Structure 1
Amino acid sequence: MNRVTQRRPASVIRADGSVTRRRETLAGEEPLEIRVNGKPLAVTMRTPGDDFDLVAGNLVSEGFVTLPELLANMRYCGGAIVDGTNTYNVIDAAILGLAPDAISERRVVTTSACGVCGTTSIDEVRRQSHFPPADEDFRIPAATLLALPDRLRESQDLFERTGGLHAAGLFDEQGELLCIREDVGRHNAVDKVIGWALREGRLPLRRTILQVSGRASFELVQKSHLAGIPIMSAVSAPSSLAADLAEEVGITLAGFSRGDRVTIYTHPERIDAG
C-alpha cells in the first residue's frame, strides 16, 4: 500500500451540469508518534515518508539535539496494523545524556497545521538557539532570492500529483537546491529538511536560505533560528509574531516572493538589491 499518496474515486461537477467520475490522487496523512528513550514525546499528523528526517528535525526544533552524535539511533516500533501490514507510525529515538524527566515535561499533540499546539506559554516557544548569530558578511543578490520559489516548485514531485502538499527547500548562497521535503504540514516539511541536515552533519546551517511554499509563521522562524538558518523566504505573508521573532534573533525574513518582487521584513542588509 502506497501511504505517501492514495487514490480515491471522486465526482467532478462543472457549471454546465456535467458530472465526470474519476480517481483522484490524494496526499497521505497519518499520525506519527515520536518517542524518546522509550517515552512518548509527541504525536504529529504527517505525510508518511522521510520519517527519520522528520523525527530528527523535530528533536532539533524542541531543543533536544544539536549534534548528530547525540542522536544514537532511531527505530520503528510496532504501530497499528492495517490490512495485515504494520503502519510504521511509531518511532523511538535514543538521545544520549538526556535527563529522564525532560520528556515528561514536554509531551504535546500537534496537527498538520500547527507545530506548537501543545505549548502553554509564549515564553516556552521562544527557545534559545545553541548556535551563534549568522556570519555578518553573508549577502545574496535579490535575483537569487527571487529565483527560489520557482526552483522549489519545479522540485515538488508530490505536489504535481496531489496539489495538496507544502514544501520546504534548503538552498546554498548560489541558489542551488540542497534538500527539499514535502508534507501536508508546513512545519513537518521544515522539520524534515532540518532533520536531513542534522543527520548529514550540516548543522548549523550557516550561509543557507530556507524557502517555504506557504506563509511564514512563528514556528517556522523559530525552527530556522534553532537550526542556524540566516534567511527564510515564503511565497505568502508572515505573521506579526514571526516578524518580531526574526527581528529579535537576527533572521532575514522575506515574504510575498513571487516573480519579480519580494518584501523584506527584517534584516534587509543580507539582500543585495543591485
Structure 2
Amino acid sequence: MSRVTVKRRILRVKDTAHTSRIDSLAAEEPLEIRLGGTPLTVTMRTPGDDFDLAAGFLVSEGAVGSSDDIATIRYCAGATADDGNTYNVLDVRLAPGVTAPEPRNFYTTSSCGVCGKASLEAVRTVARWSAADDPVEVSQRTVATLPDRLRAAQRVFDRTGGLHAAGLFTADGEPLCVREDVGRHNAVDKLLGWALRNDRLPLRGTVLMVSGRASFELVQKAVMGGVPVLAAVSAPSSLAAELAAEEGLTLIGFLRGDSMNVYTGERRLNVTPSAGYGSAGARTTG
C-alpha cells in the first residue's frame, strides 16, 4: 500500500546554525480512476481513502447518488502475477442501469479540481438535492469552534504541515468525518465518498469546514452532496459566492475565532447578540 508520508533528509538552517535531519513530507502520487475498465481521470492525491475519493468524485460528477449505484471498487492488478495490486490504479463498476458519465479523460492536479472542464456550464452539474430547501440553523459560537476542531483531527498535517483538510460536522459542531489530502478538492471528494458509501447522502443538516479558501469547485461539490453550509478559514472567490447564492448554500469565509464573513445564506446563522450586529442577523462585510 502507498505511504501517506515520505521521509527525506534535509538541511535545516536557522540563523547561523545548520543541521542535517530527517523530515516527513506529505506523499503525492497519481491515482488513475477507471470506470468499467475504461480510464476516466487521473488525479494527484495523498494515498489513503482512495475508494472514498473515487466514489466522491463520481458524486461530484453527478453520476451516483447512493451506495447502490456502485457495484464494486477495487485496485487493479499489475502487469504480471508478481506485481500484485497497483495501488495507484483502481476500477469502479457501476450497478446495472446506472448511466456512466461521459468520458473526458481529463487530468486533475492537486491544486485544481476542475481542470479540463470544457466550460463553466459543464461544471454546473445538475444536483440531485437542493441545499436551498435545508432549514438547518447553526450558531455563531458553534461555527467559531470548527477550525480548531478540524485542526485537532489533522493527524498527517501534524507530521508534515503540508495537507489540506475537510471536515463534516453536525449543526451542533460534532465531527462526522475528517479527511486530509494535498488537494483541497480531493479532501472534499473523500468526504462525499465516505458519505455515499455509508448511505448518508444527502448531507442535510451538516456543515462542511475546509482548511483553505472556498473555491468554486468546493462550493460545487458541497452542492452536489446536499451540504447546506460551507465554511472556510480563508476567502471565497467571486464565482464561488455566485454559485452559492444561486444554489441556496450558506457560504462563510475568513472564519477566525468569533470573526467571520457571511457571503450568502445568512438566514442559517444564529448570531450572538453584540455590538456591530443588528436585528436583521449576520454582518456581511466583504
In the superposition, the TM-score normalised over structure 1's length comes to: 0.94
Q: What secondary structure does 1:77 align onto? A: strand
Amino acid paired to 1:3: R
Q: How does 1:43-192 map to 2 (within 5 A)?
A: 43-78=42-77, 86-96=85-95, 97-99=97-99, 102-104=101-103, 106-192=104-190
TM-superposed deviation, 1:234 = 0.3
SS at 1:114 equivalent: coil
Kept after mapping to 1: 8 A contact 2:77/2:84: no
How many angstroms apart in 1 are the aligned matches of 2:256 and 2:78?
42
Taking the aligned partners of 1:99 and 1:130, their CA distance within structure 2 comes to: 14
Amino acid at match of 2:205: R
**C-alpha displacement of 1:271:** 0.2
**3-state SS, counterpart of residue 236 of structure 1:** coil
Find the aligned partners of 1:95 and 1:226 in 2 and give their Cα distance.
Answer: 18
SS of residue matched to 1:203: coil
Instruction: State the one-letter code of the partner of 1:111.
Output: T
215-224 or 123-132, which deviates more? 123-132
Secondary structure at the counterpart of residue 202 of structure 2: coil
CA distance in structure 2 between the partners assigned to 1:125 and 1:220 by the alignment: 11
Counterpart check, 1:214 vs 2:206: no
Q: Which runs of 5+ in 2 are unaligned?
A: 273-286
Shift of 1:181: 0.3
Q: Is the 8 A contact 1:135 1:207 kept in 2?
A: no
Mapped to 2, the partners of 1:85 and 1:264 lie a distance apart of 50
> How many Å apart are 1:2 and its aligned residue?
5.7
Instruction: Sort the Cα spacing of 1:84 and 1:127 in 2 relative to 1 into closer, same or farther, 3 A.
Output: closer
Q: How far apart in 2 are the matches of 1:120 and 1:79? A: 33
1:80 and 1:4 mapped to 2: Cα distance? Answer: 24
Give the C-alpha shift of residue 136 in structure 1: 4.8
Q: Does residue 5 of structure 1 match 2:31?
A: no
CA distance in 1, matches of 2:210, 2:244: 15
Change (3 A) 1:48 1:136: closer
The answer to whether the 8 Å contact 2:66/2:196 transfers is yes
- Deviation digits for residues 170-198 of structure 1 (CA, Å, limit 9, x no counterpart): 00011000000000000000000010000
Aligned counterpart, 2:282: none
The SS at the match of 1:204 is coil
2:14 matches 1:14: yes
1:133: how far off? Answer: 3.5
Cα deviation per residue 1:84-137 (whole Å; 9 max; x = unaligned)? 67541111001122446x442x32110000111010111100111111344453
Given the two structures, how large is their TM-score scaled by the length of structure 2? 0.90
RMSD: 1.7
Question: Identity over the aligned pairs, expressed in percent?
Answer: 57
Q: Which amino acid aligns with 2:28?
A: E
Q: Distance in 1 between matches of 2:138 and 2:64?
A: 29
Q: How many residues align?
A: 270
Contact 1:80 1:89 in 2 (8 A): no
CA contact (8 A) 2:78 2:84 kept: no
Distance 1:99 1:169, change over 3 A: closer
